[in-house]
């Protein structure tokens, strides 16, 4: 499995949990010309029209509620939302209400680990056995770097909790380390939530803080991200996630935090995600070398195609690179965060539905911005 075609489908219903499923292929029609675009009135008119039409189309197709935001650095160029947060009551969709962002959490986790490496608190090529003394010998071959770039070979843990949610993170960690390797570490790419779950535990064992507490201190508070934190129970009259498996969307129960951990337990808002992207891509969080690692795919022994860096996927719009990650949750939420470095644009998409048919919205917005 690789990302050259924007993720092959993952077997099993539970692997939809947090997995960036339904990720899309960038095709030749998205080709762009190099060079930044000036903020002209025409560009803004095209951008607004495309955002408006994208939101309207998804609402017409049955997505309960969504927001689409386009930013340069942290400055909003255009933000549009619509629909309902709760279909049963007709409550209007609230773009300021934090919602689950699923696997976009992995990007935060990757940056937190790279930050620790830059502070010499760990090394990317350390064996993870350094923090798991009772780990079976084959798993001690795995390095921190291999967890980050999803080449560890760890087994998948979700099916072990198909009928009962884990009571604690320790339960999940014990399960992960008890599973046999699926392949030799470093030999293949396989998107797996277990990689980032263990990274969250490594953050805790290195710093003494829970992974999300470390993020709060290092990133969320300094950046003014007041609405980003592990998801907590939300009153059912405020926000509901919906699965759209045909017919009327069905309300879903939230996924408990111990099930997801640092692989996908954060909630956030469109504006907080823009603050994050502005700081990350504006060189305010990591050194140039650490930032390069985020969006540079791992080189595999067999030269197999791979587009996953560390919590970030690299794609191309013609000759221009762009970087993204999404989150697709079986609790009925979808999120997408994309950055287009040639123009310094960030596109954020959030919806209280899955599937939501929103995978290509950011590319359509970028084409409109460039007049393609």
| 338 Cβ neighbours under 8 A, 6+ residues apart | 322, 323, 324, 346, 347, 362, 363
Instruction: Of 63, 105, 66, 83, give the one whose Cα is nearest residue 242.
Output: 63
Burial of 234 (0-12, 13-18, 19+ CB in 10 A): middle
DSSP per-residue string spanning 338-367: EEETTTTEEEEEEESEES-S-TTHHHHHHH
Give the mean pLDDT of 63-69. Answer: 97
The answer as to CATH 3.40.710.10 being correct for domain 13-370 is yes
| Domain range list for the chain | 13-370
Q: Compute and round to an integer the Cα radius of gyration of the chain.
A: 20
Give the mean pLDDT of 195-206. Answer: 98
Burial of 13 (0-12, 13-18, 19+ CB in 10 A): exposed
Task: For the chain, give the percent of residues with pLDDT over 70.
Answer: 89
Distances (CA, A) of 167 to 83, 170, 172, 235, 259: 35, 8, 9, 22, 9
Q: Please give the pLDDT value at position 72.
A: 93
Instruction: Of 213, 169, 23, give the one whose Cα is nearest residue 102.
Output: 23
Instruction: Of 248, 293, 132, give the one whose Cα is nearest residue 142.
Output: 132
Give the mean pLDDT of 71-96. Answer: 95
> For residues 158-178, b (16+ Cβ closer than 10 Å) or e, as one string?
bebbeeeebeebebbbebbbe
| 44 Cβ neighbours under 8 A, 6+ residues apart | 77, 78
Reduced to 3 states (helix: H, G, I; strand: E, B; else coil), residue 336 is: strand
CB 97 within 8 A of CB 85: yes
Omega before 355 cis (within 30°)?
yes
Give the mean pLDDT of 167-175. Answer: 92
Q: Please give the pLDDT value at position 35.
A: 56
Q: Please give the pLDDT value at position 26.
A: 32
| Average pLDDT across the chain, whole number | 87
The 3-class secondary structure across 283-307, one letter per residue, is: CCCCCHHHHHHHCCCCCCCCCCCCC
Choice between 32 and 69, residue whose per-residue pLDDT is larger: 69
Name the pLDDT band for 281 (thresholds 50, 70, 90): very high
Q: Please give the pLDDT value at position 36.
A: 59
Q: Which of 119-123, 316-320, 321-325 has the lowest mean pLDDT?
A: 316-320
CB 193 within 8 A of CB 258: no
**Torsion (CA) 142, 156, 213, 348 in degrees, nearest 10:** 110
Q: Please give the pLDDT value at position 38.
A: 59
| 161 Cβ neighbours under 8 A, 6+ residues apart | 14, 172, 175, 259
The angle formed by the CA atoms of residues 327, 205 and 123, to the nearest 5 degrees, is 80
**Torsion (CA) 154, 155, 161, 163 in degrees, nearest 10:** 170
Instruction: Of 6, 3, 93, 51, give the one whose Cα is nearest residue 345.
Output: 51
Burial of 154 (0-12, 13-18, 19+ CB in 10 A): buried
Classify strands 241-243 and 353-354 as parallel, antiparallel or unpaired.
parallel
Choice between 186 and 245, residue whose per-residue pLDDT is larger: 186
Instruction: Of 159, 161, 156, 146, give the one whose Cα is nearest residue 176.
Output: 156
Global pTM reads 0.90
């Amino acid at each position: 499995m690789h990302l050259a075609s924007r993720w092959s489908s993952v077997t099993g219903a539970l692997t939809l949990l947090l997995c960036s499923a339904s990720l899309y292929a960038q095709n030749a029609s998205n080709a762009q010309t190099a060079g930044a675009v000036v903020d002209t009135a025409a560009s803004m008119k095209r951008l607004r029209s495309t955002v408006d039409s994208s939101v309207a189309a998804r609402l017409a197709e049955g997505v309960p509620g969504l927001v689409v935001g386009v930013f340069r650095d942290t400055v909003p160029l255009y933000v549009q939302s619509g629909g309902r947060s709760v279909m049963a009551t007709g409550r209007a969709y609230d773009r300021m209400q934090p919602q689950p962002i699923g696997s976009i959490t992995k990007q935060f986790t990757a940056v937190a680990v790279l930050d620790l490496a830059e502070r010499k608190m760990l090394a990317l090529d350390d064996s993870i056995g350094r923090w798991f003394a009772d780990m079976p010998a084959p798993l001690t071959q795995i390095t921190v770097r291999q967890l980050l770039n999803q080449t560890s070979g760890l087994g998948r843990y979700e099916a072990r909790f198909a009928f009962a949610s884990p009571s604690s993170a320790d339960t999940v960690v014990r399960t992960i380390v008890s599973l046999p390797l699926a392949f030799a570490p470093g030999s293949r790419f396989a998107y797996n939530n277990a990689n980032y779950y263990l990274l969250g535990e490594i953050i805790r064992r290195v710093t003494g803080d829970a992974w999300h507490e470390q993020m709060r201190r290092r990133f969320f508070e300094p950046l003014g991200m007041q609405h980003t934190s592990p998801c907590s129970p939300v009153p059912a009259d405020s926000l509901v996630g919906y699965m759209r498996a045909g017919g009327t969307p069905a309300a879903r129960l939230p996924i408990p935090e111990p099930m997801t951990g640092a692989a996908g337990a954060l909630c956030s808002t469109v504006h907080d995600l823009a603050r994050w992207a502005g700081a990350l891509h504006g060189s305010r969080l990591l050194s140039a070398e650490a930032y390069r690692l985020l969006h540079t795919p791992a080189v595999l022994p067999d030269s197999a195609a791979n587009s996953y860096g560390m919590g970030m996927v690299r794609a191309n719009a013609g000759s221009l690179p762009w970087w993204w990650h999404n989150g697709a949750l079986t609790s009925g939420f979808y999120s997408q965060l994309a950055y287009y470095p040639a123009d310094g644009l960030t596109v954020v998409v959030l919806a209280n539905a899955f599937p939501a048919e929103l995978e290509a919205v950011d590319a359509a917005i970028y084409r409109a911005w460039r007049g393609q």
